[in-house]
Amino acid sequence: MSTADTKPTSVQDSPQKHEAIVHAQPSTASKVSTFLSTYVFSKDHKVIGLQFLFSTLLWFLIGGLLALAVRWQVAWPWSDVPVVGKLFAQQGGQMAPEFYTMLFTMHATVMIFLVIIPILAGAFGNFLIPLMIGADDMAFPTLNMLSYWFMWPAFIAFGASFFVEGGAASSGWTSYPTLSTNVNSSPGAGWGQTLWLIGLTFVGVSSMLGSVNYMTTIILMRAPGMTMFRLPMTIWSMFITAILQAFALPVLTAAGFMQLADRSLGTGFFTPEGNIVNNAVATAGGGQPLLWQHLFWFYSHPAVYIMILPAMGMVSDILTCFARKPLFGYRPMVYSVAGIAGLGFIVWGHHMFMSGMNPALGVTFMVSTMMIALPSAVKTFNWLGTIWGGKIQFTTSMLFALSFVSMFIIGGLSGIFMAATPVDIFIHDTYFIVAHFHYVLFAGTAMGVWAAIYFWFPKMFGRTMNEFWGKVHFFLTFIFLNGTFFTMHILGAVGFPRRLADAYHYETFHHLQPLNAFMTYCAMGMVATQIIFAVNFFWSMFYGPIAGRNPWNSNTLEWTAPSPPGHGNFDFQPIVHRGPYEYSVPGIESDHLMQTDPPNSAATAAAAAAH
């Protein structure tokens, strides 16, 4: 606690003393140890944020390639995989069905646990929270460093699992028993599954370390004048996400240990009595497979919001900045994020409507699930309200943010189909749900992440990304993602099941191959488009135009710091005088009024009139 006790006071110290802290870093230590403590085992939230960003972008690439391999099999089952086919060394380059199950399991695992959650909370949470609240660093810098380095055992466990006997986990990212608990049930249920559970535990530890840090930092270390209701939406959503993590994660970690015990210690939490898999000896058992599903979704449903709320927050900030207009309904926005978080804990059963859970419970979960659509609807209306009557600047970042709104509408509405229990009977575990969560997580969150990367890149590296190639990247990604994912809805309407290595031998689905081939071509285009992004990203890091402190004329605190900010962030003590969204205030010359700008009588009068 000593750090927590000292840090908040240091924020309120005089600028001179703050300066001293900032420049106290240069030491007489050797170059190697300086390098290590600056770039590797750094306790600076910005370096940790960038470490998260680079690691997750690398895993994003791996997850994307896994998805391509999945799409190849769905479009052209049992045909030779081009280029990398020989690496699989199975039947001369064609995919074995157990390899296919491993591919989609690991695609989802990588994307969820190693990309989306850490890129939002780890990369942007770390980088933005202290900067946007006006703190010099996180409350617990060492804990923060550990939260990144606890990801590495997970990277290694998940990465190594591809190379162990039987291959990586292949019981789906949901890891349902008894497929996952019984080592005889599938090739990947051996070491692959054990490594999966170990990896999951480390991801959980990392998230937990991050979340306590974010909560403490946001509560204790806000700059003078930064009241809770002057926080930007990014920080509000990061704050509520951290609370969700802290409450939901222990359940998943415990469940993971229970599954590990079932597999290696012979317990029977999730295995029923006398369970015989693949003609092996019957298990002693005595447990219940559905228990895992309850525990898993008790975490993983709130985790769905962990995967979207921070993107919603960042998009809200980007929309206001490029519409040059205050956020429409700031407080309703905050309340709806809180509402999503609260309701998020009582909707997990909607993943289990067909599971054999008491159908009466399904009715309860249907009502709560329908109601959780409400705060999302309110947010969407407020985003529309925000750009309504603004002056929209079509930057790459803004285009990605607008597409987040457009795509989130689709993802949100398609969720209502699954929430309706009778309709879910038919579309459960079909491509309809695949369409739904890709619209939320890829077309939503990933587009939000790109908006955020283009927006905060200048703060991260001091240079802006190339706008022309950014727009090309946006345009092609937008086209290809809709080509890939929108068509999944109608595939789901036929009842086309997910996770099938080859569905065309069914009479019901035999005619769907051409559509799947079209989707795979779009997916290839989508992955190829990311080359443009990668080149733009690295080129701009070194050769992009110098950005200056506030390239977008934005209001929030991070734009008052140098780009990139030095250790300790601010070269003056930020004092906050107003909320984050004072754009186009009538009666003043500039079209934006930063949170740190001194009180202005015209602005105060305008704000009073507007309320």
Partner 1 sequence: MKRFAGLFWSLLFLAVPILGVITFAVAPAYDIWLPKDVSEHGAAVDGLFYFILWLTGAVFIVTEVALFWFIWKYDANNKKAEVQYRHGNHALEVVWTIIPAAVLLFLAIYQMNTWADVKMRRPNMAPTVEVIGRQFEWRLRYPGRDGVLGTPDDLHLVNDLHLPIDEDILIQLKSMDVLHSFFLPNVRIKQDAVPGMKIPVWFKAREEGVFDIVCAELCGWGHYKMKGRVTFESRERFEEWLEIKYQEQEATQESGTKT
Instruction: Specify the residue, 341 or 443, whose C-beta has the smaller distance to partner 1.
Output: 443
Instruction: Specify the residue, 202 or 583, whose C-beta has the smaller distance to partner 1.
Output: 583
Distance in Å, CB of 335 to partner 1, minimum = 10
Instruction: Specify the residue, 187 or 462, whose C-beta has the smaller distance to partner 1.
Output: 187
Distance in Å, CB of 101 to partner 1, minimum = 6
Instruction: Specify the residue, 250 or 389, whose C-beta has the smaller distance to partner 1.
Output: 389
Q: Which backbone phi and psi does 597 adopt, to 5 degrees?
A: -60, 140
Q: Which residue has the tokens 């996180």?
A: 138
Of 178, 196, 188, the C-alpha closest to 285 is 178
Residue 257, strand partner residues: none
The one-letter code for the residue type at 128 is L
Distance in Å, CB of 311 to partner 1, minimum = 17
Distance in Å, CB of 70 to partner 1, minimum = 13
Instruction: Specify the residue, 329 or 566, whose C-beta has the smaller distance to partner 1.
Output: 329
Instruction: Specify the residue, 155 or 176, whose C-beta has the smaller distance to partner 1.
Output: 176
Give the DSSP per-residue string, 507-524.
Answer: TTTGGGHHHHHHHHHHHH
Q: What is the dihedral of CA 129, 134, 139, 140, to 10 degrees?
A: 60
Residue 463, strand partner residues: 546
Distance in Å, CB of 471 to partner 1, minimum = 9
Instruction: Specify the residue, 62 or 103, whose C-beta has the smaller distance to partner 1.
Output: 103
Distance in Å, CB of 433 to partner 1, minimum = 11
Distance in Å, CB of 447 to partner 1, minimum = 13
Distances (CA, A) of 146 to 140, 141, 210, 235, 246: 10, 9, 9, 22, 16
Contacts of 89 (CB under 8 A, 6+ apart): none
Q: Which backbone phi and psi does 549 adopt, to 5 degrees?
A: -70, -40
Instruction: Specify the residue, 343 or 452, whose C-beta has the smaller distance to partner 1.
Output: 343
Give the DSSP per-residue string, 187-249.
Answer: GGGTHHHHHHHHHHHHHHHHHHHHHHHHHHHHHH-PPTT--GGGS-HHHHHHHHHHHHHHHHH
Give the DSSP per-residue string, 303-330.
Answer: HHHHTTHHHHHHHHHHHHHHHTSPPTTH
Distance in Å, CB of 245 to partner 1, minimum = 27
Distance in Å, CB of 88 to partner 1, minimum = 14
Contacts of 426 (CB under 8 A, 6+ apart): 495
Instruction: Specify the residue, 499 or 549, whose C-beta has the smaller distance to partner 1.
Output: 499
**323 contacts 392 by C-beta, under 8 angstroms:** yes
Q: How many CB atoms lie within 10 A of CB 221?
A: 24
**567 contacts 44 by C-beta, under 8 angstroms:** yes
Token representation of residue 81: 């995989």
Distance in Å, CB of 510 to partner 1, minimum = 10
